[in-house]
A and B are shown apart, each in its own frame.
Chain A
């Protein structure tokens, strides 16, 4: 679909497909490094081309995506087939003219940032200075310059001297959208640390520490696992940040460290099923979350191809489904409801009927429009606000 018509009929075609990473084999450890992409981050656009960073477990790559929709015709030294013309045959000079051609999208790797992570990369975040970015693995965070691939600076290291003492890992990290010296990282114990790179070269000491005190009445053997933060995102304003743990989404005011300002339950009905979810490993699923452009709404995924949206102002929430059966093109999505107990109403789905293989881990909200992208296993859905 031509991108110069944003309010068109709402049908999308694939723009470009390319292979970012290939599987590799680490001969020293005798282990395979999967080509699976963990994170993608766009760079702010500075010219006609688009740049993005993509990463697998070990290597980050900078890709340039550029369009070509014109080509030059009427060269002097070569003919239309590209063959060189005999110079003696050229009797006149002409200026080549640009003619339109079918759109061609090229993706070319521009930088490869490798060999800086011993553990699996879980986050990348582009800095507001547009020159640097961070990459985080389970135990370390590195700072890179986009132009320099053979060096990175280690800014956080939580690896204990004795690995047997390891009880906490880094789960996500992000730069502040406006302050290029500030970043946060979350942990498997449900804490968030905000660090200022101006204070010291190695940011092992945090400037702020965010943690909500535990509710003793709901404590169980699974409390720590469900408190593990799977995603952290700053609001566009830079005043708030949002964290996703297994059952909820929390909005934090950066000025208040002892508790979040808002908590939204994503699928509280799973709390009584934690043991089964631990058994089938679903409890370790890492859901992402995102803000809309104005920070008035947040969105995150759940199971059974459900995703949830919360309006921060009206406190209303909605559950929608991303599946072929429930989304005909241009049809309005019907709100879904999970029956938590007692009598199941019509159109409600009971907790035991939920498909835990159909999980929506990745969602994205357009920074300016009310258009969302939802990834449901091997399908990508794009939804938008109905146009009156």
Chain B
């Protein structure tokens, strides 16, 4: 049935457990399911950026899903909990360890579905959370009322990870926005063209081989890193370093 051929363990049995244990067991599994959906969504957003312009509708829908999860987690109070738990760190580490981020955009562009994503899922295969995510959509009892204001999204929160999370979504939209001529012009308004070949610079700028460093954590926390085309052209690394300095200023 599944395009990527991922086999899932049936998690339905666990929820049929009788007694008071049922309530206690259901909630952590829901949290894990929700967390894995969040991770999956964030990876999808990262993988949006290919040689061909990303599908804006898809990106917006995924970003909205991420916001919903984050809002619900904030209301639950589990957002802070996840940050300190190993699962929270582990999910970021998993992102770091996959080779998706190192993949060239050409490889990603081939085929409608990103092959690297299968690798990512295999990392999850042993994780219970992934198995039970299929039943998550039919768990009505733990749902948050819909009228939760999006103000929650913007409210001040000292949590560093939340700030990074906000930033990562913002970066993604900035990237989508930055693919317009105006911002590129602004970016280059201070550059003296006599130093660089403009074509090479434009190619290097957009491909952002920074991703070749395979540092997903850095992507999340750095305010300048954009998850655009991950061409791992080693001969443009130096140019990108220079451009990175320009962008940060």
Contact = CB atoms under 8 A, between A and B. Distances in A.
Interface in A348-371: 351-354, 356-357
A281 interface: yes
Interface string B158-174: 00000000000110011
A31 B174 contact: no
B138 to A, nearest CB: 6
B1 to A, nearest CB: 5
A87 interface: no
Interface size class of A (residues with CB under 8 A): 35 or more
A273 interface: yes
A31 B184 CA distance: 13
Interface stretch (B54-62, B89-97, B216-224, B240-248): B54-62
A27 B65 CA distance: 33
A169 interface: yes
Contacts of B40: 278-279
A138 B203 CA distance: 26
A119 B56 contact: yes
A138 B53 contact: no
A275 B61 contact: no
Contact of A221 (B2, B69, B229): B69
Given A164-B174, A276-B134, A282 B3 contact: yes
Interface string B194-211: 000001001101110000
Interface string A254-281: 0000000000000000011111101111
A274 B173 contact: no
Interface in B24-83: 34, 37, 40, 44, 51-53, 55-58, 60-61, 63-65, 68-69
B140 interface: yes
A55 interface: no
Contact of A219 (B1, B63, B146): B146
Contacts of B206: 29-31
B146 A166 contact: no
A222 B137 contact: yes
Most buried by A among B69, B140, B207: B140
Given A28-B184, A166-B173, A188-B60, A221 B202 contact: no
B70 to A, nearest CB: 11
A2 interface: no
A168 B60 contact: yes
Nearest to B8: A276
A34 B54 CA distance: 12
B113 interface: yes
Given A31-B51, A57-B53, A164-B170, A351 B58 contact: no
B55 A284 contact: yes
A353 B133 contact: no
23 contacts: A27-B202, A28-B181, A30-B205, A30-B207, A32-B52, A118-B180, A120-B55, A163-B173, A164-B169, A164-B174, A217-B140, A221-B137, A224-B64, A225-B61, A271-B137, A272-B134, A272-B137, A273-B1, A276-B2, A278-B37, A281-B3, A284-B55, A354-B1
Given A120-B55, A356-B3, 11 more contacts: A29-B181, A30-B206, A31-B51, A32-B51, A122-B57, A214-B146, A221-B37, A221-B65, A279-B4, A280-B4, A284-B58
Interface of B: 1-4, 6, 8, 34, 37, 40, 44, 51-53, 55-58, 60-61, 63-65, 68-69, 112-113, 121, 133-134, 136-138, 140, 143, 146, 150, 169-170, 173-174, 176-177, 179-181, 184, 199, 202-203, 205-207, 229
- 6 nearest CB pairs, A to B: A30-B206, A163-B177, A220-B137, A280-B3, A138-B56, A352-B1
